[in-house]
Amino acid sequence: MMETFFGPRLLHHWPARRPDLHWHILPPPAAAARLTDAYAALTDRAGLAAVDAAWLHCTLLHSAPVAVVSDAHRADIIAAVRDICTRITPWQMTVERPVPGPVAIEAAITPGQPARQLCRLITDVTYQVAGFDPGTPHPADGYYPHMSLAYATDDVPDRDLRVWLSDNPIPHTTFTVDEIALVAQSHDGHKITWQPITTIPLGGTTAPHDTTTPGRTNVQ
């Protein structure tokens, strides 16, 4: 049985409509469209909020609320992460077949180690620069990179989902991870959306750019 993702446990630390800083790996548009199209029949059903291709993501770090991070601290964090990323080599990421998880239909990502390394490094510099307390355990401990194709918005029996997956052997999706993104992300209790802040290339091969245009809007 899948339980609602947008329940009290989430709302306790991330209230609806509050933008929090998130670092993401974002799939290229073609790869995102392949994933959402291939699993549309799985995710388009009662009790599930399918993730549109534009919002598909692999979270590296859910950081602090936007309102508590000063412009100076944010700039310092971005500069530190940019320096880290010059030493990270791009890699091939494979999005495996999804499974029903506790609160979402999750597709594991392999290999996990490069994303886990980035999670740890980004977390460490964020806390060092801004002085946030990471608490215990460290966010990278037990971190497993994945993409959620749909979030449960109600209690959903997963038996039919597993039957569908057993009858539909869809190939894996692979793409090159050559940049990461910082966004101001929020949710409305049904969908997750964000405003883009910046993208940072891996390996120092492309000039980073800050996004100053308005972010994507939520299409219901």
Per-residue pLDDT of 59-82, as tens digits, reads 999 999 999 999 999 999 999 999
Residue 132 has pLDDT above 80, yes or no: no
Q: How far is CA 127 from the centre of its chain?
A: 20
**For all residues of the chain together, what is the average pLDDT?**
90
pLDDT for residue 211: 37
Average pLDDT over residues 43-51: 97
Residue 7 has pLDDT above 70, yes or no: yes
Sketch out the chain's domains with CATH numbers.
8-210 (3.90.1140.10)
Burial 95-133 (b: 16+ CB within 10 A, else e): beebebbebbbbbbbeeeebbbebbbbbbbbbbebbeee
pTM of the model: 0.90
Residue 212 has pLDDT above 90, yes or no: no
